[in-house]
Amino acid sequence: MFPYLQYINMPPVTVHPSPTSASSNDSSRNGATTETGPQHVPEHPRKQRGPTQWYQTVHIVKVTQQKLEVIIEKEDMRATGPNAPRFANEIGAAVRQYAPLNKIRWKDITDAEKSPMYSRLENVFVLDYDKRPWIKEVIENDMPIRFKEFRYELHEYYKTLVDLPMTERKVKKHDQVLNQDYWDYLCNYWESEEFKKKSKRNATNRSKLTHGHCSGSRSFLNTQAMGKKEDQFMASD
């Protein structure tokens, strides 16, 4: 489906075996070359844009016939490990694809409207809600953040069009907005008094912040998890 993806460097992944891959594994042990054979993965892959990483994820699942394992400990309530970036990227992609943009607040989005987002994640990751029920809570907590980030990105794009008449702004729909009605709604909302008052209030609140914090592209929990492993290694030395 994506033949060119075999040339893209892919970060290391942890996969969960599925029954459909058993025959391929048997032939591999017998010395036969299979499509699901071992793949060389560089230790420090080149960073990829979100859509590219999604194609890589789909390609891995398709070729290996195995969903990806994601580590989500209850005490962390956040994905860690090698597949954490892919998991976070997929949540954002699911929100961008399926979230109704005519809803101002995430809590106004119904369970039926969220269902396709969960289905997309379940197609590529092992998400056993019965054994690990907190996973769904982790996803539910992260989706509103992705929704807000997407809305912010769209508004930043919209601000580049403010010198145009409203009719032209609506014609120049953002590429990632799949529904024209959603874009028309957002254009009207961003010009409303309600939004302008809210934007002004948020700008005032941000101006009161004294400093921010970050740890590069790696999440704090991934950094913390790596620190725990290093501590355990040092203790056993």
Q: Report how far apart the first and last C-alpha atoms of the chain are (Å, whole number).
A: 47
Return the pLDDT at 2: 41
Return the pLDDT at 61: 84
Output the tens digit of pLDDT for each of the chain's 237 residues: 444 334 334 445 555 554 444 444 454 445 444 444 444 444 444 444 445 555 678 788 888 889 999 999 998 899 998 999 999 999 999 999 999 999 999 999 999 999 999 999 999 999 989 999 999 999 999 999 999 999 999 999 999 999 999 999 999 999 999 999 999 999 999 999 999 998 888 888 888 877 655 555 455 555 555 455 445 444 444
Return the pLDDT at 12: 52
Element (H, E) at 189: helix 180-190
Return the pLDDT at 167: 96
Q: What does residue 2 show for φ and ψ, rounded to 5 degrees?
A: -125, 70
Q: Which two tokens stand for residue 208?
A: 């009161």
Return the pLDDT at 224: 54
The counts of H helices and E strands in the chain are 9, 4
